[in-house]
Structure 1
Amino acid sequence: MSSATADATGIRSRPTPARGFKRFHHDHVTAIRGVTTIVVLLLAWEFVARVFMKGSIAVAAPTEIISEYGKLARSGDLWRDISASGQEFIYGFLAAVVVGIAIGLAMGSSKVVRDYLDPVINAFYATPVIALGPLFILWLGIGLSSKVAVVFILAVLPIIINTDTGIRNVDPHILETANAFSATRRQIFLKVMLPAALPFVISGIRLGVGRGLIGVVAGELFASQAGMGYLVLSSSQVFNPAGVFVGITALAITGIVSMILLKRLERKLAPWRTGDA
């Protein structure tokens, strides 16, 4: 319903500010709630750090962290670390998405493939893969390859499992209907199974983002000379909590932005499965 009004001359006036604000609030209510929570937490964090933990070497206030961001940005160290971690994450995560979806589709579509691969996938998923980090460094060195491998192996597993689950949980009544209309195996896969599994695939990718970021830090903690994990480690060794929180918050922001983008992608590709309560 339009909030514009008409005067005696019949000319429509612009919407009133109150109606404009209500419209904005309605369209962005989820974002507003999230931002409100973050602002409240930051204010509480600042208060506790300044009042109750002033001078502590374990906690830095948000304003101190922002100041550290500026210091690292001016020195160029921040951009170096972002570039290093960004390359490791992007290469490892993109490889995980491609390989994970391909293997998950194969496992979900073929019992034979699932019988062969399921024990291996379950074994890797139950193994603390981060503990394999030193082995990757021994095999691939301390360069980019070992970090990419850690990110890949951590991110690929939830993508495989969710994709496989999505394919195998397609409504059998829909498959029966497709068969009744003489749909080919290829048509059933592309037009029925794949769209139905899409929300599961994207959920697996979202889980992979978090595990991939853990892989970035894990790989850099073992052996690295740049990156967010290296920043966290080096800052903790010189008792610089602000530097530690710079690395942590940078990774957290990356995760939040990735989740928002994936949610939007899911709304576009599978709008029937997304709804706001």
Structure 2
Amino acid sequence: MSATALDKPANPALRRWLDFCLLIAGLVVVWYLLHLWAGDVALTSPYETVTKLIHLLGQDWFWPHVGETLVALGYSLIIAALGGLGLGTLLGIHRLSGQIAEPILVALYALPKITLYPLILLIFGLGLPAKVAFGAIHGIIPVTIFALNAVRNIKPVYLKTARVMRLTPLQAMRIVWVPAALPEIVSGQRIGFALTLLGVLLGEMFASQRGLGFLIMNAIGLNDVPTIMALALLLAIFAVTVSSILLAIDRRLHSRS
């Protein structure tokens, strides 16, 4: 084999898959060692957890809870994504408003949202509206902050080019503003997804009788460790899958910018 062939780098896609498999294998090993140390009372083994999850997925009563969580998450994501994008864009365009609003948004972002839960319950009551509101509150602020900074940090040369070309506001938005700000906007949507999912699950834990969050809370009350671990694994797989897709889009957009 020639030196050129030896120096040739491995397929990047294959290398990423190998790294991913090694990471998963390492996590499983660490999980199993923690199981041996803590015992079944605190942590089920990977095999027992997967077996319990497969059992839950085969139960007819389980899927309505999954559907309830997905519906609440979908509504929350729409509100957080569109509301945060619209508000952040407006604040980014009007720089004075953005400079005033940004520290307020950061302070609200740092505020533990659970402190707002009694107010949400008083306004929306128990059920789907409260879960949607709680999820949207978690996700809308980071989306707004990322959109604000994305619009505010657009290179001035792009804006000058739009004025020289005498583009209408709608044309400038479509041709200049959106492509230039899109990478940071997608980054905000990725963070917003994770926090919205967290908010929906917290809402289901405290103000619902349906959904995966409710099942987790019920299992905690019964000290049902296998169910807790199985549901945590299901949520982790879902969150990692969606976040990985958004991260791949994010990286591609940043590489083109």
Question: Hey, what's the Cα distance between the residues in 1 that align with 2:64 and 2:29?
Answer: 30
Note if contact 1:166-1:198 (Cα within 8 Å) is conserved in structure 2: yes
Count of equivalent residues:
251
Q: Does 1:193 align with 2:163?
A: no
Matched residue, 2:59: 75
Q: Does 1:174 align with 2:158?
A: yes
Unaligned stretches of 5+ residues in structure 1: 1-18
Could you say which structure has the higher helix fraction? 2
The CA RMSD measured in Å over matched residues stands at 2.7
Matched residue, 1:136: 120
Question: Hey, what's the Cα distance between the residues in 1 that align with 2:191 and 2:229?
Answer: 23
1:91 is displaced (CA, Å) by 0.9
Q: Quick one: which amino acid aligns to residue 27 of structure 1?
A: A
1:38 is displaced (CA, Å) by 1.0
Note if contact 1:46-1:63 (Cα within 8 Å) is conserved in structure 2: no
Give runs of aligned pairs for residues 148-227 of structure 1, distance below 5 A.
148-227=132-211
Secondary structure at the aligned position of 1:154 is classed as: helix
**Among candidates 92, 98, 101, match of residue 76 of structure 2:** 92
Matched residue, 1:44: 30
Note if contact 1:206-1:262 (Cα within 8 Å) is conserved in structure 2: yes
Q: Quick one: which amino acid aligns to residue 17 of structure 2?
A: A
Q: 1:166 to 1:101 in 2, by over 3 A?
A: same
Bigger relative CO (Cα 8 Å, ≥ 6 apart)? 2
Secondary structure at the aligned position of 2:210 is classed as: coil
Q: Quick one: which amino acid aligns to residue 143 of structure 1?
A: G
Give runs of aligned pairs for residues 254-269 of structure 1, distance below 5 A.
254-266=238-250
1:144 is displaced (CA, Å) by 0.5
Q: Quick one: which amino acid aligns to residue 149 of structure 1?
A: A
1:24 is displaced (CA, Å) by 9.2
Unaligned stretches of 5+ residues in structure 2: none
Identical-residue share of aligned pairs (%): 28
Note if contact 1:147-1:219 (Cα within 8 Å) is conserved in structure 2: yes
Q: Does 1:229 align with 2:195?
A: no
Question: Hey, what's the Cα distance between the residues in 1 that align with 2:98 and 2:162?
Answer: 24
**Normalization by structure 1: what TM-score?**
0.80
1:111 is displaced (CA, Å) by 3.2
Question: Hey, what's the Cα distance between the residues in 1 that align with 2:23 and 2:102?
Answer: 41
Is the radius of gyration larger for structure 1 or structure 2?
1
